[in-house]
């Protein structure tokens, strides 16, 4: 079967650049939206040029110009959007309503993967804590528009990005592992799911031509990466040959500490609350046909231990 042509939007972003690499590596003709708004941002421009040299096509287009989006979308079979959605960086989830409009007008797209890649908003929106719930609510607004328009879709629920969560041993505001003491959330026994962002990108690209994932939510929940914070810390301690001091942070104290932070940080902390204190990512069951490592056993995913080795 011929591989789909793919348009990646947000291709210079934290996840987007990995999606571009995975799409090229898996042999898809790959197009990347080149927004005029990036101007002389040399890092972004250089990244785009390097992708072009690896075989990707750059397509001019802007969210301020619907027609340019329609023209970009017409070039491909599949659109993947990795627009920003983390408040402490940038948050543009609702801009995707423009993209839905463009995909509807173009009328040729066989699959759209919106910028999701986190916790499943449909499963968790009712229990998500404010103000972080806003991210799930906005992702639901986009889903509703996609489904009402009848655009074929796949939603990728990627659980925790390893760079954010494993890097800091699940401590908010840290992205490198501690070597002396670690803050443990509550009893530290709630399970979460950690994924290398390159693996997330590979699994995402795997879904796009797969009839099993059409109009479905796919969860990236590889069994070896479903661990509690204490288990993550234990793996790190074994790697560095040293026991860390454990400082327990109760849920009540965590909630008090949130109050002095700005809105963007509070959004982030609410996600940590849901993941680390409530165990939201493992609060529901999924079937084998919905889980990426079962659908694609040929992908050798990065285990938590292997990921943590990069910091030793």
Bond before 131 cis per omega within 30 degrees:
yes
| Binding residues among 104-143 for ligand NDP as defined by CB under 6 A | 115-118
How big is the chain by its Cα radius of gyration, in Å? 20
Q: Which residue reads 């500490």 in tokens?
A: 257
Do residues 166 and 303 make contact, with C-beta atoms less than 8 angstroms apart?
A: no
The residue from 7, 10, 222, 273 that contacts ligand NDP (CB under 6 A) is 10
Query: By CB under 6 A, how many residues form the interface with ligand NDP?
Result: 29
- Considering only 22, 69, 78, 82, the residue that binds ligand NDP (CB under 6 A) is 82
Dist CA 20 CA 308 (whole Å): 24
Q: Where are the alpha helices (DSSP H) in 107-250?
A: 121-124, 133-149, 162-165, 197-207, 229-240
User: SS3 of 1, please?
Assistant: coil
Helix H or strand E encompassing 96: helix 96-106
Closest to ligand NDP by CB, 77 vs 120, is 120
Q: Which is nearer to ligand NDP, 201 or 233 (CB)?
A: 201
Residue 139 is a catalytic residue = yes
Interface pattern 24-53 for ligand NDP (x via CB under 6 A):
---------x-x--x-----x---------
Compute φ and ψ for 238, nearest 5 degrees.
Answer: -65, -40
Question: Does residue 168 touch ligand NDP according to CB under 6 A?
Answer: no
Q: Which is nearer to ligand NDP, 233 or 281 (CB)?
A: 281
Please give the structure tokens belonging to residue 99. Answer: 């993209």
Q: Residue 164 or 254: which CB sits closer to ligand NDP?
A: 164
Determine, following the binding rule CB under 6 A, whether residue 303 of this chain makes contact with ligand NDP: no
Q: Rule CB under 6 A: which residues touch ligand NDP?
A: 10-16, 33, 35, 38, 44, 63, 82-86, 89-90, 92, 95, 115-118, 158, 160-161, 164
Catalytic positions are: 139
């Amino acid at each position: 079967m011929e591989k789909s042509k793919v348009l990646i939007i947000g291709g210079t972003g934290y996840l987007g650049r990995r999606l571009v690499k995975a799409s090229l590596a898996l042999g898809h003709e790959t197009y990347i939206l080149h927004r005029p708004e990036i101007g002389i941002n040399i890092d972004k421009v250089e990244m785009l040029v390097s992708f072009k040299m690896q075989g990707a096509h750059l397509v001019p287009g802007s969210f301020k110009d619907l027609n340019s989006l329609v023209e970009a979308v017409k070039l491909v079979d599949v659109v993947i959007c990795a627009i920003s959605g983390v408040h402490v960086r940038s948050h543009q989830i609702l801009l995707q309503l423009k993209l839905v409009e463009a995909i509807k007008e173009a009328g040729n797209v066989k699959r759209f993967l919106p910028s999701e890649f986190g916790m499943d908003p449909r499963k968790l929106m009712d229990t998500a804590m404010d103000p972080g719930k806003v991210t799930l609510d906005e992702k639901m607004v986009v889903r509703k528009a996609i489904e009402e328009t009848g655009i074929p879709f796949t939603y990728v629920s990627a659980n925790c990005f390893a760079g954010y969560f494993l890097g800091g041993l699940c401590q908010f505001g840290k992205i490198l592992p501690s070597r002396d003491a670690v803050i443990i959330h509550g009893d530290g026994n709630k399970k979460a799911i950690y994924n290398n962002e390159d693996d997330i990108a590979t699994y995402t690209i795997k879904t796009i031509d797969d009839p099993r994932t059409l109009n479905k939510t796919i969860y990236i929940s590889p069994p070896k990466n479903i661990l509690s914070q204490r288990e993550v810390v234990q793996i790190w301690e074994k790697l560095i040959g040293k026991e860390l001091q454990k400082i327990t942070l109760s849920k009540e104290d965590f909630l008090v500490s949130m109050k002095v932070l700005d809105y963007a940080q509070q959004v982030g902390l609410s996600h940590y609350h849901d993941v680390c204190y409530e165990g939201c990512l493992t609060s529901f069951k999924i079937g084998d046909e919905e889980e990426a490592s079962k659908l694609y056993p040929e992908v050798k995913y990065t285990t938590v231990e292997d990921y943590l080795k990069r910091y030793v």
